[in-house]
Amino acid sequence: MPSWAIVGATRGIGFEYVNQLSSDAKNEVFALIRSQKTAGPLNELAASRKNIHVLETDIGNPTKLKETAGEIGSIGGGKLDVLVYNAFFHGDSAELSPSAFAGREEELENYFFEPLKVNVLHLIHTVNAFLSLIKKGMERKIIYISSPSGDLEFNRVSELSTAVGYSISKAAGALVMTKYASELKSEGIRALSISPGWVETDAAKDLITSPGAFEVILSTLRKYNPNVKGMISPKESVESMLSVIKGLDESTSGKFLSHKGNLEWF
């Protein structure tokens, strides 16, 4: 029975991973959450599907993560096939370009380090806690949900000068995955960073803070790809990503790809 752990599973893309994967009774799905506060829809889904296991954990706490790995191991037969690290932190001050932080250094420090913690450091804690389970799995895949904001070429072409902390952290997270891919290649473990596209979720909607904000984002994305029409649904994004993950092998391990399996982010 293929087993999957989705980190950050209450809403948006993480929830949709759980939904699509658990619709196949052959999959065992571990939905990792930080709190029950927003887990209503996930609990409802889990109540109707026996192959979903909702586990509360703390990705910033290696001891707690080890306990969670123990729970996954005992439910899932001592192994885990695929880990999807989807949890993230965006941070405030998203509208500021680097030079705007002159005179706001304290703000910069929080804005810089907080996304790095969740999007990079806690990624490493999580992978390390689950690695012994993954080594015993059949699929042996580690997936990091990154973002086009973490791609240098996208930032260059779209002239995106804002979202500094988030962008840096998503690039760094992708680099960490390349390191894991190199380190674990000989053990048959494959690591991939993947972007979900521009997806209609709470996070994406939160960035539309004023009436004209949607058009501003759209015109930025259109500098990169003039054909972008708008956000795609979580359903479409996750279906596409699952197809890329299915094809992940030694030749693509360590890459940072779009949901389309290439460098076309939108």
Ligand X SMILES: NC(=O)c1ccc[n+]([C@@H]2O[C@H](COP(=O)([O-])OP(=O)(O)OC[C@H]3O[C@@H](n4cnc5c(N)ncnc54)[C@H](OP(=O)(O)O)[C@@H]3O)[C@@H](O)[C@H]2O)c1
Among candidate residues 79, 141, 170, 255, the one labeled active-site is 170
How many angstroms separate the CA atoms of 58 and 118, rounded?
11
Radius of gyration of the chain (CA): 18
Binding string, 203-222, against ligand X, x = CB under 6 A? xx------------------
31 forms part of the interface with ligand X (CB under 6 A): no
54 forms part of the interface with ligand X (CB under 6 A): no
Q: Which of 6, 13, 29, 257 binds ligand X (CB under 6 A)?
A: 13
b/e map 142-173, b = 16+ CB within 10 Å: bbbbbbbbbbeebbeebebebbbbbbbbbbbb
Query: Residues 157-163: contacts with CB within 8 Å, 24+ apart?
Result: 157/223, 157/224, 158/220, 158/221, 158/223, 158/224, 159/220, 159/223, 160/220, 161/97, 161/98, 162/94, 162/95, 162/96, 162/97, 163/90, 163/94
Q: Which of 3, 5, 6, 14 binds ligand X (CB under 6 A)?
A: 14
| Residue 180 bears catalytic tag | no
Q: Name the one range near ligand X by CB under 6 A: 32-40, 103-111, 123-131, 216-224.
A: 32-40
173 forms part of the interface with ligand X (CB under 6 A): no
Q: Which of 26, 35, 186, 227 binds ligand X (CB under 6 A)?
A: 35
What SS3 class is residue 58?
coil
- Which residue(s) pair with 254 in the sheet? none
86 forms part of the interface with ligand X (CB under 6 A): yes
198 forms part of the interface with ligand X (CB under 6 A): yes
Q: Name the one range near ligand X by CB under 6 A: 7-15, 43-51, 75-83, 186-194.
A: 7-15
| Residue 170 bears catalytic tag | yes
| Residue 147 bears catalytic tag | yes
Residues that bind ligand X (CB under 6 A): 8-14, 33-35, 38, 59, 86-89, 118, 145, 147, 195-196, 198-199, 201-204
